[in-house]
Amino acid sequence: ILNKPPGLAVHGGSGVPYGLIELARASWAHLPGLELAHRLDRDTSGCLVLAKNREALLGVQRQLVAGTARKAYLALLQGDAFKSQSKNAPRGGGRNVVLRVDARLLRSELQGGERMVKVDSQGKDAVSLFSLIELYGSFASLARVEIETGRTHQIRVHAQHLGHPLAGDEKYGNEGFNRQMKTLGLKRVFLHAEQLDMMHPVSDVTLRVQAPLPDELASVLDTLQRGVPTQGRGER
């Protein structure tokens, strides 16, 4: 299990000569069966599972399909994503509110091969659970996101569907908000695979793996703690 850095694709293709799996195979040539057990977007950091052989690969993938392996992410969303859901909560209870997004996702490609995903009733089942960690006025919300499915761009598109896209997301996000986030030091989409809970596919030992928030994202949160931009939610 690796702590994937941002900016590195998990595999080569689409103009990318090589990715993490190619580098891993070159570094661990004694493991000819090394495979990605799942994927992370290029600019997403955090927990990533590699399988040493086919037995391990199938064991991990069975857990992911069945939902017994749990993945949790940290994400920074535009605006107060929890306002309408928490306004009637008991005093201090807003942080206990969980937003469940159950919206099917359909994958398509634009000209040039760019991959896009949208909410569509003809798509595949996709469920994401957003829980509030920290609120930065009405400017941004830090959330923990658990996914019950693992669709391409799932968290990013579900956040957009909520009307509160991820900070730094150039594909599904808000241009004005992203410009403001750049002034705070954000250089990529704010999405980090923080935790993975699963059974070891061979030994059946329960595993919990955590990847600390990268320094560059922690620095953005520190800046937000000192005060948010005055232009609110960064509308276009």
Distance from the Cα of residue 39 to its chain's centroid: 11
At 14, list the tokens: 């689409």
Q: What is the DSSP string of 27-84?
A: HTTT-TT-EESS---TT-EEEE-EESSHHHHHHHHHHHHHT-SEEEEEEEEES-TTHH
* CA–CA dist 109, 129 (Å, integer): 27
Does residue 41 have an active-site annotation?
yes
Residue for token pair 């309408």? 84
At 137, list the tokens: 């006025």
Catalytic residues: 41
